[in-house]
Structure 1
């Protein structure tokens, strides 16, 4: 069993992004810019936003955070996005999820200009990903693919099973694995006999937010396990969706929690912001 070290790889990616940012700034006078909008005061969301801001600073990316109160109306949020869409210094716009219940998340995500949608959630980028036409891929699935690539794990011809069908992780993860020529199964809350699917997986990706959902009896020997879940237990410890202690001995590779997929999500966001900045002068501003 070998650990898939997302922390180490994220530092490699961050260093490469920093180098490319310096080249972009010196050769074209372009400094990549990322705007993050945080609505409300959810502690987990605040923590994620702070980590993203620190990563941007380390990589030389200009970043701003718009903190808006829980009472922010949908109209006010859409107006803030419109201003950022037209700001020539901002290459990427990220709205931290989840949003307050009175705001239509789909409407908000669709309001972000597709060429600034570094989270990859706009329908246009979703469609391009599904059709394997490029665009922006969501950061977490993108980070998973980079981990597989780093450790020489080729999905082609493999049985890839994803547990969790969210728009943020599960569905785009399925698209990326399909694009990599894996035979892909997407499981969700209504899937009957989950173990019958997971036991057949060569690559198993799990992201549902349920501690220790996947146990030793649900996986086959030699499986590659990507644990995307992160859950805080009552004792304060962080665990994934996979029962690491019992499952790890059967794996060829497995991600730790923390230190696996989490750092890769932020590294991928930096890559997407750099990518947006590189195309700044080639894309008509809306």
Structure 2
């Protein structure tokens, strides 16, 4: 009798452990990335890397998820999240409209800048100066948000037909290089890699026109259709742990200099 009780208890323990492992895993998730500066880019040998990829890979490793990655434009990614064909994406800013169909888990604090072409007059030193010169146009990436101050400024420029909306980062830079626009919007993880490009060296000036506290916070964006509240909470806890144990900082430093990497943690 005692032997049977011991055996039953052991089997029950094994069953409980297996159940815990099953409930702890988060299964398959469809993740979509978009190419942008140090956030997501191709190495010289053709492999994708970047801050966003490293963050998703580490979250998946800690939670036991299997991630099916894809690369697409930001426009199609938002459509996929809204339509239920994508489970999560990256470095997204929360807005009331987006929160209707997805949750945002912050992991990076960024700041927007205006990159002015070197041929633009040095008298252009502010948003008001820019508005006052009808010959200057600016490029942005479609669906991107840039914080309250810049978004309001861009709406005034749109009303004057002075904003070009590109489908992705590379297309926006092409507009800049060929002179279709004389300025582009870029966060620091966007312009940082340009410093290292010989073809871009000396071709632009970085202007910081937003108020000091006008930062934008990016995060993993999780589809409400396929990522339930419990899993979203576990993702949030994992990101918090990655910040506290220094993993996020180390990820940022793989792709940026230490000073900039430290600033991105202020979320």
TM-score by length of 2: 0.30
Larger RCO of the pair (alpha carbons < 8 Å, separation 6+): 2
> Which has the greater radius of gyration?
2
Q: Which has the higher strand share?
A: 2
